[in-house]
Every structure is written in structure tokens, then in C-alpha cells.
Structure 1
């Protein structure tokens, strides 16, 4: 190839394909307990791996899914929106990817169609035949004691507390604020008393240690 100065410049030879692959390759070795990643020789990651600090991507053992709640027949759900907000229902049938047929015979919800974005799935599931009637759903609901189990969950307790706060009047909120101020003052006073007591104990220990050292000398 000719340059501006009139000199010929020979093109630089291309690197072999094997060398290029060696520079940028990352070797994956699949082990029984997971996947370990190895980098090119001499790299920091390889040195860390030699010291036992190799990066591993753990596979899910046994092929188990991390999700435990599915949109399925018998799944109990909490209605977070719509005309039946705040009530429990159970999924009877799946209409399509956005809608399901629900029934809540023990919570006052008739059999109707609801959107999935209006439901929050719970950990409870009823066992009844596919597309069971309201009588079958009511029997399974009562035998599983869903209402009692739901009241014991932290989710239901938070919902109830939120409902109570929303029903407070102005005077009730004023009393609650004053009660919190008194509680915080008592808590702060107790904290500083303990802190002062701890300082005195530490000071006494320091003086006793210094006295012992003086006696030894």
C-alpha cells in the first residue's frame, strides 16, 4: 500500500481466529451444584477463582419454581379494587389471560367476572372440582376455615389497622398524636437514664483498674 511519502507499507497480518477467541472467550463449566464462570488466564477473576472465590450462579435444585402462588382454580384472592374491594374470593375458572371467574359465597361476593389486576393472590387454596357450583365452593370454604385463617395473617391485620385509621375523626387523630408524643418522651427519658447509668459503671470500672495498677506498682 502506497503512502503520501511514497513509501510502501505492508499490511499488518490479521490475528488468527483462535487468538481472538482466546482473548475474549469466557468458558462456562456446568457442575452438578451450579454454574461456575471462568475467564481468560491471568485475569483477576481467574486468580480469585483459584483462591476459592469464583463466581457461581446457583441453579434451582430439583427444578422447583420460586413462585408458589398461581392463577388457578381454587386459589383464594383478595379484591383490591372494584365494587367488592376488601373482600375475599376464590377463583373458579380462568376466562383468559386478563379475566377470571370468581365466587365468594362466605364473603358476600356473588359469582362474577373480575380482572386479574383487581386481585391479589393469597397463600390459601381450596380443593373442589373444576368450575364447581356455589354450593360446592361454600362447602370447601367453610371446611377449610378460610375466614379464621385469613384473620390470623399479618396481611389481614394490616388491612384492619389501615381501615381503623381511615375511620378516625379529627379529635381521635389529635388524641393519637398526643399519646405518641407522651410515649416518645417516656422512651427518650428511659434511654438517657440507662445511658447515664452505663457511663457511671464504665467510669467505676476504669477507676478500679487504675487503682489495681497503682497497687501492683
Structure 2
């Protein structure tokens, strides 16, 4: 499988370090071999080091250093946000953020749900298949 994620104008990248961590940006210009000018709908156009960017498979068709309005229209036409949220990488990051936001009680409820719903053995017969040995009441009381 050949390498397909080249640094190019219109390439969508994920910021992996710094104050914009986790934000999707678009490369609008390559300044030199180490830096790119990036822009996103919810941020000011800025330069970032390539070491702080992780390139994605998503590209949009734009010219070099477009106006903000042109960039927004191109991102809407390419449906960047929807493509990112439907990719396995994007879904994984959404799940990580959701799990990091859980409080102690939410983690406890999740543990109980796993115990209740996931305690199946591979060789169980039909009568035992839908049942589990621990119930919510036995764990709580």
C-alpha cells in the first residue's frame, strides 16, 4: 500500500500538540520544509510546525491562501466534518473524549452495565445464554 498522505494545499490535518490540540485544520500554504500556514473555521490563520500536525486522508480542493469565506465554502462542499466523524480515527477520538469526561458514578454505571450484559460464556447452552450470574441488585445491596 503506497503512502498517500502528502503535505499539500487543501490537506486536512489534526493538531497533535499545543494550544490547538485535537482541532482539525486545513493546510492553506507551505512556508518552508518545517512549517505550514493552517486555517480552520473556528480559529485564526496561523503557522504550525509539521511536527505538531498529523495528516489525514481528507483533502479539499482550494487554491493557495484562500479567503476565509472561500475556505468555509470548500469545507462545507467537501463535508469535512461528517467525513471525519464517520472515519474510524475520528470515532475513536470521540469515544476517548467521552470516556475522559465521565465522572466516578458514570464509570461505576458503565462497569455494572458491562457485568450485567457481557458475562456470557462461549459454550453456554440456550437456557443460560441471556442470563448472567450477577444482577444489579446483588451488586448494589
Name the TM tier (shorter chain). 0.7 to 0.9
Gaps of 5+ in 1: 1-64, 196-217
Superposed CA deviations along residues 63-88 of structure 1, whole A, max 9, x for unmatched, are xx811111111101111221111211
Alignment of 1:131 onto 2:62: no
Alignment of 1:87 onto 2:18: no
Aligned to 1:193: 124
Q: Which one scores higher on RCO, CA 8 angstroms, separation ≥ 6?
A: 2
2:53 pairs with one of 113, 119, 123: 119
Q: Which runs of 4+ in 1 moved over 4 A?
A: none
Deviation at 1:161, TM superposition (A): 0.5
Deviation at 1:134, TM superposition (A): 1.8
Aligned to 2:129: none
Gaps of 5+ in 2: 127-141
Aligned to 1:149: 83
Aligned length: 126
1:157-196 matches, cutoff 5 A: 157-185=91-119, 187-188=120-121, 191-194=122-125
Taking only aligned residues, the RMSD between alpha carbons, in angstroms, comes to: 1.7
TM-score of the aligned structures, taking structure 1 as reference length: 0.54
1:97 pairs with one of 33, 43, 60: 33
Distance 2:125 2:58 in 1: 46
